[in-house]
Amino acid sequence: MELQAVLMAAGGGSRMTDLTYNTPKPMLPVGNKPLMWYPLNLLERVGFEEVIVITTKEVQKMMSTDSRMKRDIKMKMEVVCVPEDGDMGTADALRHIQQKIKTDILVVSCDLITDVALHEVVDLFRAHNATLAMLMSKAHEFTETVPGQKGKKRTAEQRDFVGVDQSGKRLLFMANEADLEDGLSVRKSIIRKHPRMHIKTGLVDAHLYCLKKAVVDFLTENKSISSIRGELVPYLVRKQFSKTPNSQKVKEDLEDQTQKKNDCSTNHELLISSRDEPLLQLAQERSCWNDHRGDMSEAYHGGKLRCYVHIMEQGLCYRVNTLAAYIEANRQAPKLFEEPPVHPSAVISERCQVGSDSIIGERCQIAEKTSIKRSTIGISSNVKEKVKVTNSIVMHSVTIEEGCNIQGSVICSNAIIGRGADLKYCLVGNGQRIEPEAERTNEVIVGTDQLMEI
């Protein structure tokens, strides 16, 4: 077997608590499908037959009751539950399932919505015998107004600095602005080996990683690493250029030697060579290929640890971890699948206008004289007469009474919007009731118990 897929669905959605305090993030509806349906669909389309899903008990329960998951996903899903409370990072989760992992793995996050040609990432992993191959995409500006945002002031997102080589494939450098104090420092060894480096910001990390099995074994030894993106990936990228044990040119004193010994032991696990290493070495020697030119070193500078990245120029790639991303994803996600936007079981009366870019879920009831434009209506929702819904996301089992006007808002499940209410750019939390004739603009309406949580 070549690759095992692992889906990380235990995340809490810490950046969009308003949406996730009742529905766990993996089950948030996007385009009327649960969020984790999208990465699972991607894996299934590409040809995976089995996937290990790491999630919480709550999500597992919801998964088993959701009809769409059972119907559409034909893969064999092995669900591993992790405790909800703990600060179990993604790397900790990998350590948890170490017994089940027999080959190289493909780790996907549950909040990834993309139409990437996955073979581009995996081909980098295969062809160069890489330790890590990941996917990144050019970030798109979110143009929709986000409910609850006061003015244009956006919290400064911490930027990621990503350094790639001439070809744009080899990952040389990765740092987050938060870790840098007074400047970006690049090691001389990197510059010596790759004099031309392109540093890019404005890239979205898709959290899709191909990792060698040796990395998982390495994680079991080093229990200090708890997050793949935060700690493991920068570590691997740095380790590409660390001095190998058999470099004879550097003079070391004793201190360095002991430090190098520690380095050696960690290196050794990562560089667990395949059998017949001498044959591979022979083939590489005889081959007239080099990945760089201009200096005297052999292909890959003799390094055994290599990290690669595929940067998507075109196409969809969203990570739904903020409210803005969630709204944007709802707009774009319908392009990913070919189901008809209006579900056949929805009851739509004749005199209502449903725009062509709107999605109506199962068993909805749309009464007369309503107008639904650029919106998503969830399953079993009930929209009464003379309602105007524009640019909004309405989740499941919502009741919207007559005469409402909803614009640019997000209405969570089980909410009830009273008669004649006028909501602009609001976020109505789960199970909330909006009193009739209410007029709210740019507000986040959640329950009082929610307000106590930080």
Binding stretches for other proteins (CB under 8 A): 1-5, 46-49, 106, 117-119, 122-123, 126-129, 275-276, 279-280, 282-290, 293, 296
Q: Give the shortest CB-287-to-other proteins separation in angstroms.
A: 4
Neighbours of 193 (CB within 10 A): 20
Residue 215 three-state SS: helix
Taking the least distance from each CB to other proteins, the nearer of 84 and 123 is: 123
Structure tokens at 15: 């950046």
> Which residue type sits at 426?
C
Taking the least distance from each CB to other proteins, the nearer of 182 and 285 is: 285
Rounded (to 5) percent helix, strand, coil in the chain: 30, 25, 45
Neighbours of 120 (CB within 10 A): 14
105: nearest Cα among 8, 9, 4: 4
CA separation, residue 171 to residues 157, 190, 378 (Å): 22, 11, 41
Q: Give the shortest CB-298-to-other proteins separation in angstroms.
A: 8
Taking the least distance from each CB to other proteins, the nearer of 213 and 433 is: 213
Structure tokens at 116: 């990437």
Q: How many helices (H) and strands (E) does the chain have?
A: 13, 32
Residue ranges of E strands in 131-234: 132-138, 160-164, 171-176, 198-200, 203-211
Alpha-carbon distance 244 to 5, whole Å?
31
Q: Give the shortest CB-211-to-other proteins separation in angstroms.
A: 14
Taking the least distance from each CB to other proteins, the nearer of 178 and 283 is: 283
Alpha-carbon distance 390 to 392, whole Å?
5
Taking the least distance from each CB to other proteins, the nearer of 284 and 332 is: 284
Alpha-carbon distance 115 to 334, whole Å?
12
Q: Give the shortest CB-185-to-other proteins separation in angstroms.
A: 30
Region label for 200, one of left (φ > 0), alpha (ψ between -120 and 50) or beta (otherwise): beta
Taking the least distance from each CB to other proteins, the nearer of 125 and 218 is: 125
List the end-to-end C-alpha distance of the chain, in Å, as a whole number. 45
Q: Give the single-character DSSP code of 342.
A: B
Q: Give the shortest CB-302-to-other proteins separation in angstroms.
A: 12
Q: Give the shortest CB-312-to-other proteins separation in angstroms.
A: 15
The residue to which tokens 């760089």 are assigned:
292
Region label for 77, one of left (φ > 0), alpha (ψ between -120 and 50) or beta (otherwise): beta
Taking the least distance from each CB to other proteins, the nearer of 108 and 404 is: 108
Taking the least distance from each CB to other proteins, the nearer of 142 and 300 is: 300
Q: Give the shortest CB-108-to-other proteins separation in angstroms.
A: 12
Q: Give the shortest CB-5-to-other proteins separation in angstroms.
A: 8
Taking the least distance from each CB to other proteins, the nearer of 28 and 132 is: 132
Q: Give the shortest CB-301-to-other proteins separation in angstroms.
A: 13
